[in-house]
Structure 1
Amino acid sequence: MPDKKRSGLGRGIDAIFSDFETDEINSENVVDINLNDIRPNPYQPRKEFSQDALNELAQSIKENGVFQPIVVRKSVNGYQIVVGERRFRASKIAQRPTIPAIIRNLDESQMMEIGVLENLQREDLNPIEEAQAYQTLIEKLHLTQEQISEKLGKSRPYIANYLRLLSLPNKTKQLLMESKLTMAQARTLLTLKDPRKIDQVAQKVVDQGLTVRQLEKMVSHPQTTTTMPNKRKKSPFIQETEEQLIEKLGTSVHVISSKDGKGKIQIDFSSTQDLNRILDLLDISLN
């Protein structure tokens, strides 16, 4: 991530990674810790680790050792990982008794922020893990969406759209985590209110390989096809406009135009909370 965006992360991340500069690591600060004395970071947003990638890293560790120390903090029972869980897991697979580590004096909130933000910077979390990471920052550290946006250099709509994924039913979440659904498809499914219907349609998307546009047509009001028998085919400009609005607002949007150039934009919302979210994205205040 460019330095301009990293500057918003504050001193926590930079303080951790200053020790990782190849020519600045002080060997006196690195100690070998027994793997049995180390526990994972409870705030680690990544729940799924590629077994193939871990096995590949484990083989490298067997042959060359661990090049980059992990970062830990002392806990009641040994140590907790702050940064470096992949290296820890791979070292266990490689059956190494110890791992090089840097011990940091961090409180609970510092550990949480560094652990979550470090993983978010890597940008290889699945969408649900990323959404849960944002939710952790909001609930545990009481950060606002605006503050998270500034820390990570991401837009508020980007953060808001990920948080909405947490309202999906579990089966659909799993499809998204397995990359069987895309983010755009998941956001379109959110326009359906019934969790069972969402799961049914999500599975249909996977089974039939439906595109976002096909899905959007499926979940939009089917009764409109009977009340608009002379509906004209939308121009490429109108279709592109709809797609950009859907991407921006994270909900179904219909741009309806007439021959005289007039028309209207219909924005769907599923609840009062969803409406407030859309108004926030549009910078509309009803104070």
Structure 2
Amino acid sequence: MKAKDTPFYKKITLNCGGRIVLLQQPAVMGILNFTPDSFYANSRMQSVEQAVAQAGKMLNEGATFLDIGGYSTRPGAPEVTEQEELNRVIPIIEALSKAYPEALLSIDTFRARVAEAAVRHGAHLINDVSGGTLDQDMFATAGRLQVPYLLMHMRGTPQDMASQNQYPNGLVEEMVSFFAERVAQLRALGVKDILLDPGFGFAKDIDQNYQVLRRLKELEMFGLPLLIGLSRKSMTYKPLKVGPEEALTGTIVANTLALLNGADILRVHDVKEAVHTIKIAKKMLTA
């Protein structure tokens, strides 16, 4: 019996613009936000030049992917027009493609038109925080572009998701149903490389986030890579009664727990610390 025929098989390859990325060990995705209102002030890029410099630092520290966003999805974030989002992200993607041609770029958007423009200008992956719920054209766009698609669990919109955290049938159970339905839709539309993101902080309160973190291994039933975005979110600092600027310790601990429960990619603000976390976790798992 081949490994892929067993219930424990997990897809570990991604085709990123003709380059095959092997996720035999966890990788790091660095966050680059070209927004004035992202929840962590140090992640806000104020210019293309600053973004290029920060990207270089992240790549030198060991990032495999860079995630570019132009629309803050923190709870209660204000609406950003599609044109403004395009104006923010396209110049950065063009600049990063020129400065670091080997870098793997992800576009963080829930809009199909923004995703398509980003891929046309050099992005390799689509990171859709809405899981296709906010733009009915997103799945077909990902299938047509033939790029990896990051499917995140979310309810509502960034403006109202905090009130959408009631799960009468169980949070993880409803998440599994959400992923099962949408993975089938994506595959039917020709999307070959799918990654899953539980969506920590999206329509989930702090206790619900930790429930998902504890039960993360249950998502391995899909045999798909898991991307985990815990970096400096409220679940890593509110229990400690500090703010996001002091959340690095909580982030490292939460990321360690995620790695022990099957995470394949850590999406973070602090790349060097995430790379170190992966190395220590790997040492324990392989000793």
Q: What's the TM-score bracket when you normalise by the shorter of the two chains?
A: under 0.3
* Larger helix proportion of the pair: 1
TM-score normalised over the length of structure 2: 0.25
Computing the radius of gyration from Cα coordinates, the structure with the larger value is 1
Quick one: higher RCO (CA 8 Å, sep 6+), 1 or 2?
A: 2
TM-score normalised over the length of structure 1: 0.25
